[in-house]
Structure formats: C-alpha cells, structure tokens
A and B are shown apart, each in its own frame.
Chain A
Amino acid sequence: GAGVSQSPRYKVAKRGQDVALRCDPISGHVSLFWYQQALGQGPEFLTYFQNEAQLDKSGLPSDRFFAERPEGSVSTLKIQRTQQEDSAVYLCASSSTAAGGVRSNEQFFGPGTRLTVL
C-alpha cells in the first residue's frame, strides 16, 4: 500500500511518561501535517512541515509537544511528561505539493495513533 502509515496504532502511557509517534508519509510528498483528534471531535491542526522545515507549529498545545522531520520524509511527534488531557488520536497527513500554491492540494491522512494516558 502506498498510503500514509502511522505507528504504533495504539499507545498506552502512564502519566508522566514520554511517548514518540511515528508517521511515514506517502513517498515523495513534500508537505506533512500533524493533527490531534479528541474523542467525538474533529481533528485540530498541530503543526506543518515542508520537507524538513517546520513552517508552522502554532497548534502545538504546549512545550511538551515536539515534532521533527529531519530528512524530509518520516516524521516523529514526541510528547514529554504526558498528561491525561493528551489522550486523543494523533493523525498525520501528507500532501504532494508545498502549501501556499495557487491550488491547495489534497491532504491524505493516515489511520492515526490512539494515545491513552492513564
């Protein structure tokens, strides 16, 4: 399959633990996005990468959240000292073009990682 993949699919953490969530975008996709989806809600934007550059991190809820995409392909979302309010599904999406073009390109979403913080 050539879609966006995420791992792990499920993660249970004890409060205070650090977690790392991985996203493998569609090969060759320039743009990568992370969203947080709370139960029963729509996804909320967290951050955006164009290749390896993090151009927008305005949606990250606190400095405990950190994302990287060092080689412009795979991305990792890290949450330090997890709290119960961090429990959510974390979605990754990729797009074939850079944002800001004449036509915004379709974002393809992965299946998400469901994080539960106890």
Chain B
Amino acid sequence: GESVGLHLPTLSVQEGDNSIINCAYSNSASDYFIWYKQESGKGPQFIIDIRSNMDKRQGQRVTVLLNKTVKHLSLQIAATQPGDSAVYFCAENNDYKLSFGAGTTVTVRA
C-alpha cells in the first residue's frame, strides 16, 4: 500500500491568501520528503524537499514543515496566486524510488 497520503483531495483558496496542504506518512523510517506540483498536461515539478534532520525548510513563497512525532508534513504557500492552481503531491524518496500520495488539487479563486 501507499506509504504517504494527503488529508484532503481538494483545496479552494482566495487569491492572496495563504494555502496549507497536508500530508501524512506511515513509515517512521522515512527520512526524505519532496513536494511536487503538477499542472494539467505536465509532469510533476519539484517544489521543495526536506530531510528528517530538519523540521522546517523555506523556499520562495513556500515552506515545508515536518513533524516526525506524528508523521506529518505540510506545504505552506504564501500569497497564493492563480499560477499556483495545480495538483500538489508529497512524495517519499527511498534512495531513488519516489512514492507519491494521491494529491491535493488546489484551485485559486480570483
């Protein structure tokens, strides 16, 4: 079965607001996670990654939080823009194999 999964399949957010996308994983030995963005008709695009020796990592407008105690990670997008509309996946990277969850579809309302 899947080792990672997302809490909600869809998220609707007002343009300019912050978005939070959640993901739970089951394997406590997992030590490397990646968030991907997939737009319609395209392949997944790397957003940000985090290793288990960190609990927070920031990029441009994005922040990933990792809570190893409850095996949960989240992706926060600041000031969500129309171009952020896409499906977001968390993935566990086991050496080279990526194990993806089912994805959260984010829709940005103007």
Contacts and interface: CB of A to CB of B under 8 A. Distances in A.
Interface residues of B, number: 21
A69 to B, nearest CB: 15
Nearest to B5: A42
B82 to A, nearest CB: 21
Contact of A41 (B45, B93, B102): B102
B102 A99 contact: no
Contacts of A112: 42-43
A41 B89 CA distance: 10
Interface string A75-108: 0000000000000000101010001100010111
Interface of A: 4, 31, 33, 35, 40-45, 48, 56, 59, 91, 93, 95, 99-100, 104, 106-112
Interface of B: 2, 32, 41-46, 49, 89, 91, 93, 95-103
Contact of B96 (A100, A110, A111): A100
B43 A42 contact: no
Q: Which of B96, B98, B102 gathers the greatest number of chain A CB atoms within 10 Å?
A: B96
